[in-house]
Structure 1
Amino acid sequence: MVMWVFGYGSLIWYAGFEYEQRLVGYIRGYRRVFYQGSTDHRGTPAFPGRTVTLEPHRDPAHICWGVAYKVSGHQAEQIAFSYLEVREKQYDKKVYLDFYSDDDATEPTLKNVLVYIASTNKDVNINYLGPAPLETIAHQIIEARGPSGPNMEYLFKLETVLIEMGCKDEHVTDLANAVRKALAERDENGILKENGAK
């Protein structure tokens, strides 16, 4: 058994399992968005954080960068049916997509790569938060923290690793800038300044 798993969020910088190969590349037809509520890693049930999921893009050629990990044999079975099923338990949808590793590729490097997605159906995914104004998402990320750490840490790590990979993601960049702007408008005690940033 050979399995490839695509990571587009924290899996990019922290796999959490041993793998045989790691490839930087992308999938097509999806965009990365901070629309999934996190109550187990970067937030709590009382105050969910926000992590990324994927949503179909109107342009089927639109690309979302990330990494693909190869595992095989007994290890693949363990990862597929134990570790990732627990780590990604709030992502209720599994799809198998083509993975590309070259900017101008016409043929996929890999086929049937496993991708975890949080669906928008709140009947089955009670933690889906959906879109909101950028400033609203930014303030939620600033306040949220969970067992895996502050929500801001997740956002900034994702921004950093995408930059290091040479990948552009406007949603991540815009949100990180919105968080920095909101933080600049607070005083040393974390309280919003009356007249905004000085």
Structure 2
Amino acid sequence: MVMWVFGYGSLIWNAGFQYDQKLAGFIKGYRRVFYQVGSTDHRGTPAFPGRTVTLELAPDDLCYLEVREKQYDQKVYVDLFTDSSSPTPAVSGVMVYVASPDTKANTNYLGPAPIEDIAKQIIKAEGPSGRNRDYLFQLEEALNRLGCFDMHVRDLANAVRELLKDIKAESDIY
């Protein structure tokens, strides 16, 4: 069975499964935002939920992805492009996990918030997979390595860095 999965978050740098091929590209009609999830299983806890932003697989790996991406309420199939000037996708039918804003179907959807508020939440959150800020910084670094400019990720990472600087300055005073 041939299956491609589009990773737009931690799957970029930490797939967690074996794959035969990796292809850098983009999809149309979507943007990456930190509106999902009230992560209590990977990058946060029930007290401090984190925020998060989903490759040819064997069937066992699909089970792994279904568990890992369980807080997303939709699975869609999209076209993957590698050249922005081409109207033809490099690969069609690429699976991607997405979060709908339907809070009845997707109880983990946190939705839009000011960058500063999202940054404050990310600084506090930590879960079994690590600190939420590390997720953000690793995503920013992975995107930079791919030559992908994502203003939302960059602005959020800069806001978190500013807050961390302020926290360090306060702790240096005391």
| Corresponding position of 1:70 | 56
Q: What's the counterpart of residue 174 of structure 1? A: 155
User: Could you say which residue in structure 1 is the equivalent of 2:32?
Assistant: 32
Partners of 2:153 and 2:125 in 1: CA distance? 17
CA distance in 1, matches of 2:106, 2:56: 28
Please, what is the CA RMSD of the aligned residues?
A: 1.6
* 1:121 alignment counterpart: 102
Residue 91 of structure 2 corresponds to residue 110 of structure 1: yes
The answer to whether 1:10 aligns with 2:10 is: yes
Q: Does the alignment pair 1:79 with 2:61?
A: yes
For structure 1, the residue ranges without an aligned partner over 5 or more in a row are 54-68, 194-198
Looking at secondary structure, tell me which structure has more strand per residue.
Answer: 1
Q: Any runs of at least 4 consecutive aligned residues in structure 1 with deviations exceeding 3 A, and if so which? A: 187-191
1:124 CA drift (Å): 1.6
Aligned to 1:46: 47
Give the aligned residue type for 2:39.
S
CA deviation string 1:43-83 (max 9, x = no partner): 01221000018xxxxxxxxxxxxxxx123xxx2x2222x10
Change (3 A) 1:15 1:190: farther
SS in 2 for 1:140: helix
Give the TM-score normalised by structure 1: 0.83
Distance 2:87 2:168 in 1: 51
What is the distance in 2 between the residues matched to 1:90 and 1:159? Answer: 22
Give 1:187 deviation, angstroms. 3.3
Unaligned runs of 5+ in 2: none
- Residue aligning to 1:136: 117
Over the matched positions of the two proteins, sequence identity in percent amounts to 62
Which AA in structure 2 matches 1:115? V
